[in-house]
Every structure is written in structure tokens, then in C-alpha cells.
Amino acid sequence: MATQQQFLDFLSEIEPSSSTIAVCSSAHNTLRDKLASHETYKAIHVNTYLSGSYARNTALRPRMANGTLRRPDVDIIVITSHTQDDRPSDVIAKLRRALKQVGYEEIESNRRSVCVKLSTVEMDVVPIIEDHWNPGRWLIADKSEERWIETNPNGHTEWAVRINKKANSNFKPLVKLMKWWRRENLPHLRRPKGFIIETLVAELMDYKESSFEELFIKLLERIQSEYEWTVAMGWVPNLQDPSVPGNNVFSRVKAEEFKRFYDQAASHAVLARRAQKEQDADKALALWQKVFGDRFKKPAAKPTGLLQAVAATGAGLTFPDRAIGLPNKPQGFA
């Protein structure tokens, strides 16, 4: 079995570094300031806010691809004064033009956003509007379908806070474990990922469990038992978006994609349970590294000799007056 400390150390290992967070924070704040002060776009600009995994504190450290560190992805929501009478393609085009005019060079228009690429970070800039007929309801521009679609990115952030509180602060760490597991084992699978994983974890996690080892194993086992029939029928799950009623977060996931995800989860549910039952620490570690990769480490060595004596007495050590939690983003990031 693995210790709780091994999982805490692993979670610390897969967190974005302080330098990554600082780079992302500087980049998105600079972009938001430039849009707000743009000579003409400021008439359209209402407000902006950070969204996505960095806002929900479920981001991972950037991945390595062919020996190169990939740029972190940051999502920025731009609340605009556009209306439903405006064509989504025109809304995306105006945002792209404004970003170009404020000095960004590597820009790509996507289906619902404009991607700004810097040497250190990629930012997806997403224009939304408030529904004139339903105040408090938000719409996102989809240029591929030329229509406005209901969304609620800020609602997703607030939902994640509520779920994490309900789970005694274990929800977000479990999401990170699951996202890392998916990245490590299914790197070329397009979906499900991101917010779909978060919704799945919220649906199936054991809210009373505190051991990260048991939380993760139970999650894989529940995926296996909950969706066995779904996969056998060639379907995908129907899991409601927690902030957009009636929207299935799996709606764009293909049946073959979900089957690959499910098969890997079912296989590793067995493997992880074996690792938990293994009493030999080295053998257990080898099994867990098959699940999480080699960033999952053995427990730190216990102090010996003089260090052991110091640790036993507490001499020369200063302890904090409160429990130390999991690594977190610096205050003020958003």
C-alpha cells in the first residue's frame, strides 16, 4: 500500500510551480488590462475574469511533449455588450482584431474563442453576453453554428468551491489525481478531459473518505460499475452540467472515446487495488508507478542518528501553529 504522505508528496509534484503560476497571472492580467483600455473595444468590453482550471484550482503542471515543456493553458472570459442579434462569427472576429491591435502576434480564432499564444503561455479568450430576455443567464458565441449557446463559467467556479467544501477539501486533489492519471495513460485521447473529469469526480467520489489512496481506487471502481452497461450498449454517459441545466457534459464525447477511457479505468481499478493490498513497499511502489508514472515516489527516508534524536525531541525545530494543507495557488492569482 501507499501512505497518505506519498499521495501528498505526489500532489505537490504535479501542481503548477510558483513560477508557472506567476507567468500565467502576469499574462492574463496584462491581456485583460489591454482589452479594457483598447481605443474602440473598450466600448464593447464590460468586464473580464479568469476561468477554467486555474480559476478552479484544478490545473496540473504543464506536460512534457517530446522533451519540450508545453505552455500552460489559461482561460479568460470577456463579458461584452454584444447582443443575440450580433453574428457569433463577427463577435469572434472583432475580439481577434482587438487582440491583434494591442500587440499580440500569434493568434488563432477557434470555434468559441480566440487563442493567444505567447512563448510561455496560451490564453483562450472567450466572449460571452448576458441573455437580454433572461438576466443572469449567459450565452457564448459559437461561430461554427452561428448561434448563441447557454454557458456559465463563473457558475462552474462557484460549484467547484461548494463541492470541495462538501468533500472536506478532498475534491480538488482527487480531480488532480484523476487528471494526471488520464494524462499519463491516455495522452492521445481527445475526450473526456478537463471539466468533464471534474463533473465525473463530483458525481462518483466517496465524500466521507479521507485517504487519497482509497478515494482514487474507489473512483475507478465506481466508474467501472456505474458505466459497465453504458459501454456495453455503445453509449456515452448522460451527466448534467452542474451550472447549465439540461446540458450533458458528455455531449461531445464519442462512444469510442469513452470506451477507451472506461477500459483503462476498469483495468487500473484492479491494478490500484492490488497495489493497496501489497505489503512489500517496493512492489507496491512499482504497481502505483504503473498507474501514475514515475513521479509517484517512495516515502521519504526516516531520519537516522542525530537527526532521529532531534526529530524525537523536537529540539531546534519550529512547528506551525496550524495544519499545513495541500499546495495551493498564491492569493490574488485571479
| Whole-number pLDDT of residue 328 | 43
| Whole-number pLDDT of residue 66 | 73
CA 155 – CA 137 distance, rounded (Å): 10
CA 145 – CA 17 distance, rounded (Å): 38
Q: Where are the domains of the chain?
A: 18-151, 166-292
- Mean pLDDT (the chain) is 91
Strand partners, 151: 138
| Whole-number pLDDT of residue 302 | 61
Return the CATH number of the domain spanning residue range 18-151.
Answer: 3.30.460.90
Candidates 1.25.40, 1.10.1410, 3.30.70, 2.60.40; CATH matching 166-292: 1.10.1410
The residues of the chain scoring below 50 in pLDDT are 306-334
Q: Are the C-beta atoms of residues 204 and 225 closer than 8 Å to each other?
A: no
| Whole-number pLDDT of residue 164 | 98
| Whole-number pLDDT of residue 317 | 35
pLDDT digits (tens, 9 = 90+) for 150-205: 999 999 999 999 999 999 999 999 999 999 999 999 999 999 999 999 999 999 99
Residue 12, C-beta contacts closer than 8 angstroms, at least 6 positions apart = 326, 327
